[in-house]
C-alpha cells in the first residue's frame, strides 16, 4: 500500500519539505548546486540534502572512486555557504552498498513529520525500474525529475513524477576529474572551497 503524505500536526504545523538529491559527487560541481538551489526554490522546500553515496552500486567496479569520506568532505565544502542546502552522511553511517529505498526509509523514520522529494536527473529517472525495490521508492517520496529547457526526460511506466526545469549546464564529473589531473582550470566549474580541498587531498592526480 502506498504511504500517504504526512498530514499537518495537531499544532497545525505543515510537514517539513525535504529534497533528497543523491549522488557520488566525485567531485561535486556547479551543476549539482544549480540543480539543488533551483529545485528548492521551485518546490518551496525547507531543505535539500545532498546525500553522498557510500558504495554506489551502479558504479562500483566501473572505475576507482574517491573515498566516501573525501567525497563527503567535498560536498560539505561545496554547500557550506548555501542556505537550505546540506550535505548528508546518512549512507556513510549505514555502510555497505547505497540503496535509495533504504535511505528514504531511514529519513522517514528520522523525520516522521516530513514530506520527501527525491530529485533525479534524466538518466537516473529513466532507469528507475532497475533500482532495488523501486515500488517502495515511490511509496516513500514524491519523485522529482529535473529537465533541461526543451528536453523532457523519460520515466518508466508505472511511476508518477513531477518535473522541474533548471538551466542547462554541460558539466561532467568525468571531465572535471581529467581537468584536475592535468591542472587545467576548474574555476567557475567547481566551487572554490572544493577546488582547494581537491588540492589539499591530492585527488584525481592519477585520473586517466
Predicted pLDDT of residue 60: 65
Place of cell 592526480: 205
What number is the average pLDDT over the span 82-109?
97
Residue 196 preceded by cis peptide, ω within 30: no
What number is the average pLDDT over the span 11-37?
93
| Torsion 157-145-130-16 (CA) sign | negative
Confidence category of residue 2, pLDDT binned at 50, 70, 90 = very low
Q: Is the pLDDT of residue 141 over 50?
A: yes
Q: Is the pLDDT of residue 186 over 80?
A: yes
Q: What percent of the chain has pLDDT over 90?
A: 81
The rounded mean pLDDT for the chain is: 91
What number is the average pLDDT over the span 94-98?
94
Distance CA(184)–CA(29), nearest Å, equals: 15
Distance CA(42)–CA(117), nearest Å, equals: 12
What number is the average pLDDT over the span 59-86?
92
Predicted pLDDT of residue 4: 39
Q: Domains in the chain and their CATH numbers? A: 16-169 (3.40.50.620)
Helices (H) and strands (E) in the chain, counts: 8, 6
Amino acid at each position: 500500500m502506498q504511504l500517504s503524505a504526512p498530514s499537518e500536526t495537531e499544532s497545525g504545523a505543515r510537514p517539513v519539505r525535504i529534497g533528497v538529491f543523491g549522488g557520488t559527487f566525485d567531485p561535486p560541481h556547479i551543476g549539482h548546486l544549480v540543480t539543488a538551489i533551483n529545485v528548492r526554490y521551485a518546490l518551496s522546500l525547507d531543505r535539500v540534502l545532498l546525500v553522498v553515496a557510500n558504495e554506489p552500486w551502479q558504479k562500483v567496479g566501473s572505475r576507482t572512486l574517491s573515498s566516501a569520506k573525501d567525497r563527503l568532505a567535498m560536498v560539505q565544502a561545496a554547500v557550506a555557504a548555501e542556505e537550505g542546502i546540506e550535505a548528508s552522511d546518512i549512507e556513510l553511517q549505514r555502510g555497505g552498498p547505497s540503496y535509495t529505498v533504504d535511505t528514504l526509509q531511514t529519513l522517514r523514520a528520522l523525520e516522521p513529520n516530513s514530506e520527501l522529494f527525491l530529485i533525479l536527473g534524466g538518466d537516473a529517472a529513466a532507469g528507475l525500474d532497475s533500482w532495488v525495490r523501486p515500488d517502495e521508492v515511490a511509496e516513500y517520496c514524491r519523485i522529482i525529475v529535473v529537465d533541461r529547457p526543451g528536453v523532457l526526460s523519460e520515466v518508466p511506466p508505472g511511476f508518477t513524477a513531477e518535473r522541474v526545469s533548471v538551466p542547462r549546464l554541460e558539466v561532467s564529473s568525468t571531465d572535471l576529474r581529467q581537468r584536475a589531473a592535468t591542472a587545467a582550470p576548474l574555476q567557475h566549474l567547481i566551487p572554490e572551497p572544493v577546488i582547494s580541498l581537491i588540492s589539499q587531498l591530492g585527488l584525481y592526480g592519477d585520473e586517466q
